[in-house]
Homo-oligomer: A and B are copies of this chain.
Amino acid sequence: MAKNGIRAGIVGGTGYTGVELLRLLAQHPQCELAAITSRKEAGMGVAELFPNLRGRVGLKFSDPAKAELAACDLVFFATPNGVAMEQARALVDAGVRVIDIAADFRIRDVALWEQWYGVKHACPELVAEAVYGLPEVNRERIREARIVANPGCYPTAVQLGFLPLIESGMADLDHLIADAKSGVSGAGRKAEVHTLLAEASDNFKAYGVPGHRHHPEIAQGLERAAGRTVNLVFVPHLVPMIRGIHATLYARLTAGPDLQALYEKRYAGEAFVDVMPAGSHPDTRSVRGANVCRIAVHQPRGGDIAVILSVIDNLVKGASGQAVQNMNIMFGLPETTGLGQLALLP
């Protein structure tokens, strides 16, 4: 780590995880942004594309072929899926540590990954080495990792919501239900008809009920915690809002725990997981722009079904904020460094 702090590079950076990463790093006291690459926008000032950065980020997008990423301490991939797996090998070999905000290194079963992502994996041996970047589970391993697979947005909200229940062994693992809702920024900054304001506004729908790429990622995390296979139904929905994920989780209880105490204890030392008081209903705006997961636990009518409500900002704790949290851990900084932003409300 240089005396000016971590020298960081970003590959990609014209999408939403990119601009959010830029916003966070521009306010990080111990990180120097060395380069950001974009084939398409090479030569354009970052702040021309994202005017919220005007006057604060002077960097220009540079040609990926010319960017000296190998001189960085750390490179973030804020790219579409399939890019990091092509470039990570060379960087790691050059001693650069890597955080992939996309999905290339999240699924340990390469065949399963290839089935869901529809391409052959370019770098399976790094999958085995990569550490899944959920600090609340893997903090120690992240510290030493050369390559971190930053979790997906839905997987972050769902795993943090289910983990205490599953780790405690008190849920029926054959009938887990995750009814999840996401703002449209989760679909990325891509020109598509179904996420136009005229299509997605004043509207609500489920999608991907037969299957969604985040299902195997979530299942993998829950199964690691359970030590066995789990049966999960995962139904994502599109909410007419920009940011935010709300996961409503249902599990049949096989024992009678004090849910509130269980969750409070599990997350007692965590800076970025907030177990709310009993009876709460967290709203997504309470984490808008902030690197926080807020959780509330319910047991309606005293029955045997637990209802867990878990909210994050998909671009922060669900992507770029968690990536900065991982960076802090990897470089020995206090985990909260540069992540003090409060949610914007209203």
Residues of B within 8 A of A252 (CB): 175
Question: Does A167 touch B at the CB level, under 8 Å?
Answer: no
Q: Is A317 an interface residue (CB 8 A)?
A: no
Is A345 engaged at the interface, CB distance under 8 Å to the other chain? yes
Query: What residues of chain B lie closer than 8 Å to A288, measured between beta carbons?
Result: 52, 202, 344
Q: Are A201 and B241 in contact (CB under 8 A)?
A: yes
> Is the Cβ of B300 less than 8 Å from the Cβ of A27?
no
A248 lies within 8 A of B243 (CB): no
Query: A50 contacts the other chain (Cβ, under 8 Å)?
Result: yes
For the complex formed by this chain, how many copies does it contain in all? 4
- Give chain A interface residues in 41-59, CB to chain B under 8 Å: 50-56
User: Are A298 and B209 interface neighbours, CB within 8 A?
Assistant: yes
Q: Which residue of B lies closest to A187 (CB)?
A: B198
Partner of A184, one of B197, B239, B248, B342: B197
A284-B203 contact given A250-B177, A290-B52, CB 8 Å threshold: yes
Find A205's partner among B234, B281, B340 (CB 8 Å cutoff): B281
Q: Which residues of B contact A189 (CB under 8 A)?
A: 193, 196, 198-199, 346
Complex interface: chain B residues within 8 A of A198 (CB): 16, 183-185, 187, 189, 195, 242, 346
Establish whether residues B197 and A52, one from each chain, have CB atoms under 8 Å apart when the complex forms: no
Interface string of A247-284 (1 = CB under 8 A from B): 01010100000000000000000000010100101111
* Chain B nearest CB, measured from A27 CB (Å): 7
A34 in contact (CB, < 8 A): no
Q: Which residues of B contact A55 (CB under 8 A)?
A: 274
Most buried by B among A204, A241, A343: A204
Residue of B nearest to A234 (CB): B300
Answer yes or no: A94 CB below 8 A from chain B CBs: no
CB contact between A246 and one of B54, B237, B241 (< 8 Å): that residue: B237
Q: Are B243 and A19 in contact (CB under 8 A)?
A: no
Q: Is the CB of A279 within 8 A of B197?
A: no
Contacts of A345 in B (CB 8 A): 19, 23, 50-52
Which residue, A53, A187, A191, A201, has most C-beta atoms of chain B within 10 A? A201
For the complex of A and B, 4 pairs with smallest distance between CB atoms: A52-B343, A205-B283, A191-B191, A52-B345
8 A–B contact pairs at CB < 8 A?
A: A51-B282, A52-B286, A179-B179, A185-B346, A189-B198, A209-B281, A210-B279, A341-B341
B-binding residues in A (CB < 8 A): 16, 19, 23, 26-27, 50-56, 175, 177, 179, 181, 183-185, 187, 189-193, 195-207, 209-211, 231, 233-235, 237, 239-244, 246, 248, 250, 252, 274, 276, 279, 281-290, 294, 298, 300-301, 303, 305, 307, 309, 311, 340-346
